[in-house]
Structure 1
């Protein structure tokens, strides 16, 4: 298939599922955390406050399945496993960083809008 064949506005298009994953909070944070280099599972857990072990495992597996994260297990005792972005994973970092920067730049006005919206009439 060519890029013209993919249409995320169609219900069964695989790009829709990919966009769902890429737009997931945990995916955004895992990709951001790994942008500076490989990290172990525990390091990721400490860096991404609030993520459960289950969610981190699911997110890493999904990113590995999509070829965005590489898992390397070293033959040591105790076993050591590191996760790092693949070249495709690094290419995803730039658009996600733009979204992260946008959120930071506009958060104050969004908080104000939410307060106005939620205020009793």
Structure 2
């Protein structure tokens, strides 16, 4: 009986963590969220602020973030048409997670580089 409870408790944590990672996983999604969050709203600005990201990958990741309601694509109907990106209010819920990841990364780098 105790084994079943431990198993259920573990799954209660694993499932929502897996859901979170499914949304923000990969090399580029969090950097894109950070870039747009600091004010890079045009495609080229976002691309230039993230070293190594290709236009094709950026376009795909922007669409994914839009589907997950973290990002809004804004079409400005002028000539030429302008497209910008803005974080949805919902993306603010990721801020504590991003800062926690930043702090952990800083501490981890110190840990593995200390002698």
Tell me the TM-score normalized by structure 1: 0.72
Match of 2:24 in 1: 22
1:47 to 46, 49, 52: 49
Aligned partners of 1:35 and 1:90 also within 8 Å = no
Unaligned residue ranges in structure 2 (runs of 5+) = 1-10
Range 62-71 or range 87-96, more displaced? 87-96
RMSD across aligned positions (CA): 2.4
Match among 34, 37, 40 for residue 36 of structure 2 = 34
How far apart, CA to CA, are the structure 2 residues paired with 1:58 and 1:24?
Answer: 12
**Count of residues paired in the alignment:** 105
Q: Which runs of 4+ in 1 moved over 3 A?
A: 6-10, 15-18
- Looking at structure 2, the residues matched to 79 and 22 of structure 1 have their Cα atoms a distance apart, in angstroms, of 29
Which structure shows the bigger proportion of residues in helix conformation? Answer: 2
Q: 1:104 to 1:71 in 2, by over 3 A?
A: same
Give 2:58's aligned residue. 56
